[in-house]
Structure 1
């Protein structure tokens, strides 16, 4: 069952509305996760009260902030619907960041999909708007040609035959939220990076201490966690017109080679790199296709194309809809995150 952590100002005292249209309180699920905790920080920086829903121990830094109301609950447990209804009734917006991030289909079914249904059941019949944290993983890059600009008009993957469990869960999650009839934003972040998470699966693979860099020459679809949180909270502040789906990407999107140069210069890592051209790698993938079901993801064509296909990733719709801009260049953001160790 959900339980509100006692506070000098407890959850019952959160006011639902200021003047019409004001957002004074946001409920954030997955609030102790990488994206969710950044959203808590962003909302509080704007003076917005937060109901921070978490499954395990909350972040210690919340303890002394009277504008954060911790709510411990497991969204996969339908028994929390009643306390969740109370929480969603006190917020004008919900940012739904809770989800399973791995590749296990059973965990996605429970944590991502059942958890989303529990939230939607609690929100049913109310006017609270929903901001879903989806992913660019929903796009079907098997239908995209190399060198294309992938934006919100790109085809989506087939939820009945997705390339992997994560993409399938995100596609189903979007379907569920659309069918709810709630005022809905769907935000699709790229590879979210930031403190403690500067590396990602779009950069190649590791063979012991050797980094195999599959250099496609396209942009890395990165979004810094602070930029991601800004976009999510900004959407939560606004009423969507219909169902708005937006890709969330940094303005300054480096190539893989540029990323690697900057990361090595600032951190000294990775020390050993073997660059392989994209076309050479895909030739290997095609050669091994009869064995693909038993091979790692980057040796399966749908996964390899989704992660490595040379593309550009415009964020035009994001900027025209929500505004905003990067707070620094890619190198500047990386230096803030890692500490610039260059001479």
Structure 2
């Protein structure tokens, strides 16, 4: 397959947060879109003759999926369960991905899979290090692909484990197709200005676990732009790209800007990462009974001060973000009003 000019692009999870942005970006560039979704399509699609909607359960309708993809030239796989229930993750993320891989292989389609920053093994990193495409990944048990639910139940984070298994399935499927794996950071945008990498609520007080590290934010429009770029471009084998905004704030800067735009959080206290880590280590004997950020592996994965360069992404697709972090946050707020 060569470069894709204005061919038909399919998007799974098309009515989800990332999927709908990918549909909009593909249409902006003149591509007809096959919007695959399990629940109701977006009302605004009805007026666009370039969008064909197919309601489908990817995990149970593999044969129908193959038929639907017959005229398609590239597929962006954005469908996934966002929770931590291992049984649902196996059905809605892993079984669906298996069907997508089989259908794309049969039709010789270019596949762009939306994975996650969560696949990296932060236990193998030290504060201040960069997270790149070459950073170590979460370890897989030898039987993880054969017994995925058991693996997810033992994983640091079932959602992160499911994304790691998605990538392993893609690797097992082979490298010949010229496919892409995208690992975006915390995806944000209109309707989702907050993220899980800031801290936690303690009654009416928000606790920020502060550090000088970068927040690996990825605006949903930037993720969609890279996903469509990948759908239009054939790599050699399977290529991996981390997807982060160019302007990555610290937690203190995020707090200041979000307060200015949204008034949230009204009450905040910031605890240094090192002090919180010391507390977590002191409470280690009780870790199994405590919330996630009181467990060191989860704390390191979400809060450790690290750097998140997007060098490989910019090398593959030169350009720059549409605005600074402050400008993007202001525009995100405007889009919600």
**TM band (smaller chain):** over 0.9
Which residue, out of 165, 169, 181, partners 1:172?
A: 165
User: Does the aligned pair in 1 maintain the 2:58–2:65 contact within 8 Å?
Assistant: no
User: Does the aligned pair in 2 maintain the 1:267–1:338 contact within 8 Å?
Assistant: yes
Instruction: Show structure 1 runs of 5+ residues with no match.
Output: 1-16
Mapped to 1, the partners of 2:4 and 2:271 lie a distance apart of: 53
1:90: Cα distance to partner?
1.1
Aligned residue in 1 for 2:74: 93
Give the structure-2-normalised TM-score.
Answer: 0.92
User: Does the aligned pair in 2 maintain the 1:127–1:183 contact within 8 Å?
Assistant: no
Mapped to 1, the partners of 2:139 and 2:69 lie a distance apart of: 32
Matched, 1:127 2:108: yes
Matched, 1:281 2:276: yes
Mapped to 1, the partners of 2:24 and 2:334 lie a distance apart of: 21
Matches within 5 A, 1:242-261: 242-261=237-256
Aligned residue in 2 for 1:226: 221
Mapped to 2, the partners of 1:85 and 1:136 lie a distance apart of: 29
Which residue, out of 54, 75, 93, partners 1:71?
A: 54
User: CA 1:116–1:294 in 2, change beyond 3 Å: closer, same or farther?
Assistant: same
User: Does the aligned pair in 2 maintain the 1:29–1:52 contact within 8 Å?
Assistant: yes
1:49: Cα distance to partner?
0.5
Matches within 5 A, 1:136-175: 136-160=117-141, 162-175=155-168
1:287: Cα distance to partner?
1.1
Aligned residue in 2 for 1:43: 26
**Structure 1 moving runs of 4+ over 4 Å:** none
Match of 2:64, SS? helix
Aligned residue in 2 for 1:59: 42
Mapped to 2, the partners of 1:196 and 1:254 lie a distance apart of: 19
Aligned residue in 2 for 1:265: 260
Instruction: Show structure 2 runs of 5+ residues with no match.
Output: 142-153
Give the structure-1-normalised TM-score.
Answer: 0.91
Matched, 1:335 2:330: yes
1:87: Cα distance to partner?
2.0
